[in-house]
Amino acid sequence: MSEAVILVPLDSSEQALAALPVAKVLGEIERAALRIVHVSERRPASAELLKLEATVPDGSTVDARTGEPAAEILLAAGEMKPRLIVMCTHTAAKPGKTLGSTATNVLRNAPCPVVLVPPGRGSIAWHLHHVLVPHDGTPTTSAALRPAAELAERASAELLVAHVTGIRAAPAEPGSLTTPRYVDQPQHEWPAWTREFVKRLECICPLGHLHVRMVLAHGNPAAEIVRLAEKQAADLMVLAWRGKWEVSRAVTLRDILREAQCPIMVVRA
């Protein structure tokens, strides 16, 4: 059986190092080895690589590659077959930018879930106590439930499921769990809806000793998800993504990536 691997792309910037504390903890939880890939368009100096090797967690390996960053990262992912790719959203200071071009290209073409880390969190230690997964009742967003639940259980973390009813009705999708009618008075239907949701979640993955908590919100989905993440002190968000990056098709994901302060795992639905 091949060794489980987490791929961590870095460049020569300080911002990129923010991915390391997150990758380290995820590696411990997943019992996966960290494979650091340093990618730049020029061959790094030996002193630069030695400095990087002194920074990365013990047991990690560093592979230096030269070329177009996204292409080299995806090539490494194809070779290593990682369980996760953990990288910063961007390393250049561009206010208002959701993702850098490298992270965007990796996200769009990665063969596995991608954990995107805001560079502003720096190199401080990271822990995983609360995992937030937004859900709108559709089977598509259910794609994030299993990996979120499995990760939370392995980490002995709480799984917080945020059901946000949008200002506009969500597109009808076969198998969707209908939103409670009285969202402004949740005491009417919310308990029954929660029980039905948990039953469906148990069909997707065994819950074991996992602690699941559900919250209901109404309004702009991205704004409410970011607000709940901050209020509930979420350490990680897990989002399902349909794989379309066009502006009209990824509005919520783009907004969350721009505003969220915690790392985000994006799972392709």
Task: Yes or no: say if 12 and 47 are a contact pair by the CB < 8 Å rule.
Answer: no
Q: Which of 165-169, 209-213, 250-254 comes out lowest in average pLDDT?
A: 165-169
| Rounded CA separation 90/79 (Å) | 24
- Band (56; pLDDT cuts 50, 70, 90): confident
- Band (42; pLDDT cuts 50, 70, 90): confident
The pLDDT, as a whole number, for residue 47 is: 65
The pLDDT, as a whole number, for residue 95 is: 53
Residue 85 pLDDT > 80 = yes
Residue 108 pLDDT > 90 = yes
Q: In order of start, what are the domains of the chain with their CATH numbers?
A: 5-121 (3.40.50.620), 130-268 (3.40.50.620)
| Rounded CA separation 116/254 (Å) | 12
Residue 189 pLDDT > 70 = no
Identify the top-confidence range among 21-30, 144-153, 218-227. Answer: 21-30
| Rounded CA separation 225/237 (Å) | 9
Q: What is the DSSP letter of 189?
A: T
Q: What is the DSSP letter of 33?
A: E
The whole-model pTM stands at: 0.86
Q: Which of 23-32, 70-79, 127-136, 208-217 comes out lowest in average pLDDT?
A: 208-217
57, 97, 135, 262 from 258: Cα distances, Å: 28, 7, 19, 11
| Residue of higher predicted confidence among 47 and 21 | 21
Q: What is the DSSP letter of 156?
A: T
Mean pLDDT of 3-15: 91
Structure tokens at 52: 């990087």
Q: What is the DSSP letter of 208?
A: T
pLDDT tens digits, 134-188: 887 676 777 788 899 899 999 999 999 888 776 454 555 555 555 555 445 555 5
Mean pLDDT of 178-207: 60
Q: Is 59 left (phi over 0), alpha (psi -120 to 50) or beta?
A: left
Mean pLDDT of 80-107: 86
The pLDDT, as a whole number, for residue 5 is: 96
